[in-house]
Chain A
Amino acid sequence: GAGVSQTPSNKVTEKGKYVELRCDPISGHTALYWYRQSLGQGPEFLIYFQGTGAADDSGLPNDRFFAVRPEGSVSTLKIQRTERGDSAVYLCASSLGPAQETQYFGPGTRLLVL
């Protein structure tokens, strides 16, 4: 079956621009997670959705970052007024439910802010 997919695979933008990153979770998975992975680091939690609602957004670094999941499936991570420090790989993962320890990761979107 299809795994978690993320688009685009690569995104180059200029400082100050707005970007949207998309995640398609595994069908039937109610929990969806966004992480950011900088070079030489492990993934860092950003936000977690259970269904349509953001159950935990404590990892979002500031108010330039926002994510939605309006129908409980596809999610979009939105970054306003991008900064060079936002350059990283943005990973999405999904799981069957909130207490499920097995998360399935997508390949990530590599964001480069010039």
Chain B
Amino acid sequence: TQLLEQSPQFLSIQEGENLTVYCNSSSVFSSLQWYRQEPGEGPVLLVTVVTGGEVKKLKRLTFQFGDARKDSSLHITAAQPGDTGLYLCAASRSGGSYIPTFGRGTSLIVHP
């Protein structure tokens, strides 16, 4: 069973459009992370959200952690071709060490 459900699985849009991707779970997390992975590369950490209701912005990317800390969203404004990639959410399994469990990801293609 997938601990983290991501939707949509695929997204193909034109440059300049806005989009939102979602990460949902029935579990409560102390923190949640978003990564972007480009073809042939490993994931790169974009942001970590910790507090329920927290909103973080990274240029045109806005990340929100749900009030109950069970879900998160990533909104991209005016998407650009450089935003193309696989967006992964991840949360720690538990314990003193940080070992993230990843969702399946949302594959985003932004056409020029």
A residues at B contact (CB < 8 Å)? 4, 31, 33, 40-45, 48, 50, 55-56, 91, 93, 95, 98-103, 105-108
Contacts and interface: CB of A to CB of B under 8 A. Distances in A.
B99 A91 contact: no
Interface of chain B: mostly helix, strand, loop or mixed = loop
Contacts of A33: 99
Given A101-B31, A103-B45, A105-B42, A42 B97 contact: no
Interface residues of B, number: 24
Contacts of B88: 42-43
From B31, B43, B92, B103, residue with most partner A Cβ within 10 Å? B43
B21 to A, nearest CB: 13
Contact of A45 (B40, B44, B101, B105): B101
B100 interface: yes
Contact of B97 (A44, A98, A102): A98
A59 B4 CA distance: 17
Q: List the 4 closest A-B pairs by CB distance, nearest first.
A: A105-B42, A42-B102, A98-B97, A101-B98
Contacts of A50: 97
Contacts of B105: 41-42
